[in-house]
Amino acid sequence: NAGVTQTPKFQVLKTGQSMTLQCAQDMNHEYMSWYRQDPGMGLRLIHYSVGAGITDQGEVPNGYNVSRSTTEDFPLRLLSAAPSQTSVYFCASSISTGAGANVLTFGAGSRLTVL
Amino acid sequence: SQELEQSPQSLIVQEGKNLTINCTSSKTLYGLYWYKQKYGEGLIFLMMLQKGGEEKSHEKITAKLDEKKQQSSLHITASQPSHAGIYLCGADIVAYKYIFGTGTRLKVLA
């Protein structure tokens, strides 16, 4: 059972370049989400999805796009990378969409550096 | 502003010592979750607390949620080097939107 798989693990971009961070889960989870982790800031929610075709913004959505065409996949797109997007990105999923019962399963993370 | 305040930010303890990490919210929480992150890796779920006054234990780790569901503590008894890592509390104050504390870095000296 693979759980949540993120690719790539490491990426270096130049300012202005675009890229997609991939996230796939094989647990048939309805809820999927993306976070960024920065020193002193903890984890902050970027975007989330409660099912195929349904996405919404989190706390820090600017500069990022998402789509959810299948239950399994939830890619995060950076349209024009900026140095402020240098961070570690985590994808997480959950079987439940109800508040108070939402144990998240995390991927191993993707470390992105924007020069 | 940080909706989940976590303290202390870092902790260095001698092996065998007990320690406590706190997580405080200004709002009532639907649920409070504790995760552990090893350096350079993803987060691993430890425990979930849903009811006011609830307490759960797993091996040498005990987590409690106060009656008002605004504060939680994570207590480690007789710490070991394997307990080292970053401990994060998480909560869903609003449905579908999960927030996290800034984390507590724990180092256990052998």
What is the model's pLDDT at position B1? Answer: 46
Residues B92, A60, B63: CA angle, nearest 5 degrees: 30
Which pLDDT score is estimated for B2? 59
Give all strands of the β-sheet with B71-76 in edge-to-edge order: B4-7, B19-25, B71-76, B61-65, B55-58
Size of interface A-B (CB pairs under 8 A): 73
Q: Show which residues on chain A lie within 8 Å of chain B, measured between beta carbons.
A: 4, 31, 33, 35, 40-45, 48, 50, 56, 58-59, 90, 92, 97-109
Q: Which residue has the higher pLDDT, A11 or A95?
A: A11
Q: How confident is the model at residue A1 (pLDDT cuts 50, 70, 90)?
A: low
Amino acid at A74: F
Percent of chain B with pLDDT over 90: 70
What would the pLDDT profile of B12-45 be if each residue is shown by its tens digit? 999 999 999 999 998 888 889 999 998 888 899 9
Token pair 């270096």 in the structure block, residue: A12
B22 backbone dihedrals φ, ψ, rounded to 5°:
-115, 150
- Taking residues B42-59, report their average pLDDT: 92
What is the band of A38 on the pLDDT scale with cuts at 50, 70, 90?
Answer: very high
Check if the beta carbon of residue B73 is closer than 8 Å to that of residue B24.
no
pLDDT at position A2 is 77
Task: Tell me how far apart the alpha carbons of residues A110 and A92 are, in angstroms, rounded to a whole number.
Answer: 12
- What per-residue confidence (pLDDT) applies to A112? 97
